[in-house]
Amino acid sequence: MKLRKVTAASAAVLALAVAATACGSGDKDDSGSGGGKKITVGIKFDQPGIGQKTPQGYSGFDVDVAKYVAKKLGYNQDQIEWKESKSADRETMLQRGDVDFIAASYSITPERQEKVDFAGPYLLAHQDVLIRADDSAIKTPADLNSKKLCSVTGSTSAQNVKDKLAPKADLQQYPTYSACLTGLQNKAIDALTTDDSILAGYASQAQFKGKFKLGGFKMTNENYGIGVKKGSDLKDKINKALEDMVSDGSWDKAVQANFGPANYKNEPAPKIGDIKS
């Protein structure tokens, strides 16, 4: 009888220990307190200069911003779990809690703000075109009339140009931006259009150095923000981190490191909450 009591007591103690361990061993902490835990960050894996997964790790302007923010939240680089955030999946990933925040060329729009919250903006980009460096025929958006204009399948960028600026542009849809770049290099197309930051990232790759240039047309305003789950207290903490990144010069260094080779004439760092329409 005594043995059974001791065994029962031991089992109770063991159960409490297991429960305590389970409660304290989670690998995520949405409060941004760090303390040896993990933070999950969504980025693009396939946009050079913005967010790219390579054999050496992850690189790009958004990656640099995300690392800086994570550090300010109390996480070292080895505590960041990176997840690919494709454009069509971003709101769902935040709503489900798959990621703590997303930095992935994520333009702030009224439609998206209904579903998620945004910190920032941290970069003001513009829709632009990329053309061959020796091309002197395309100087304005109107010069795209009768030119072969490429964008990726499903993108609205090329259609925006045709609808508003160059109605006679010959739209070409390719499966990837890399395919458009190959076509541009081989003169199968005359121009590639999307956000200027994305174009600058591609043009900055070593294999394309000196081969392409940006048109500098600034056809739209794209306010890049960091997406968080609706109502998350991370928004204010990330905003403070972004302000620190600008004030201590880290923002300028990240812009130069990722876009400098393309001679990207970036806008100054935007003020938090200043969304250009």
Residue 60 DSSP one-character state: S
Structure tokens at 141: 């958006």
Structure tokens at 231: 């109502």
Structure tokens at 260: 């400098």
Indicate if 50 and 85 belong to the same structural domain.
Answer: yes
Distance (Å) of CA 128 to CA 37, 101, 173, 181, 189: 41, 27, 16, 14, 16
59 contacts 253 by C-beta, under 8 angstroms: no
Binned at pLDDT 50, 70 and 90, residue 32 comes out as low
What CA–CA distance (Å, rounded) separates 86 from 180?
Answer: 19
Binned at pLDDT 50, 70 and 90, residue 16 comes out as very low
Among the candidates 214, 236, 251, a domain finishes at 214
Domain residues for 86? Answer: 35-125+223-262
Does 160 score more than 80 pLDDT? yes
Does 38 score more than 80 pLDDT? yes
Binned at pLDDT 50, 70 and 90, residue 211 comes out as very high
Binned at pLDDT 50, 70 and 90, residue 208 comes out as confident
Average pLDDT over residues 256-265: 87
Q: How many beta carbons lie within 10 A of that of residue 67, not counting itself?
A: 19
CATH number at residue 120: 3.40.190.10
Q: What is the percent of the chain with per-residue pLDDT over 90, rounded to a whole number?
A: 72
Higher pLDDT, 28 or 12: 28
Does 13 score more than 90 pLDDT? no
Does 10 score more than 90 pLDDT? no
Indicate if 88 and 167 belong to the same structural domain.
Answer: no
Indicate if 121 and 230 belong to the same structural domain.
Answer: yes
Does 71 score more than 60 pLDDT? yes
- The whole-number pLDDT of residue 4 equals 44
Average pLDDT over residues 90-95: 97
- The whole-number pLDDT of residue 213 equals 93
Q: Is residue 89 part of a domain?
A: yes
Could you read off the pLDDT of 98-151 as tens digits, one per residue? 999 999 999 999 999 999 999 999 999 999 999 999 999 999 999 999 999 998
- The whole-number pLDDT of residue 247 equals 98
- Give the type of residue at 125: A
Q: What is the percent of the chain with per-residue pLDDT over 70, rounded to a whole number?
A: 87
Indicate if 131 and 210 belong to the same structural domain.
Answer: yes
Binned at pLDDT 50, 70 and 90, residue 36 comes out as low
Does 9 score more than 50 pLDDT? no
For the chain, the domain total comes to: 2
Indicate if 206 and 250 belong to the same structural domain.
Answer: no
39-43 and 101-102 strand pairing: parallel
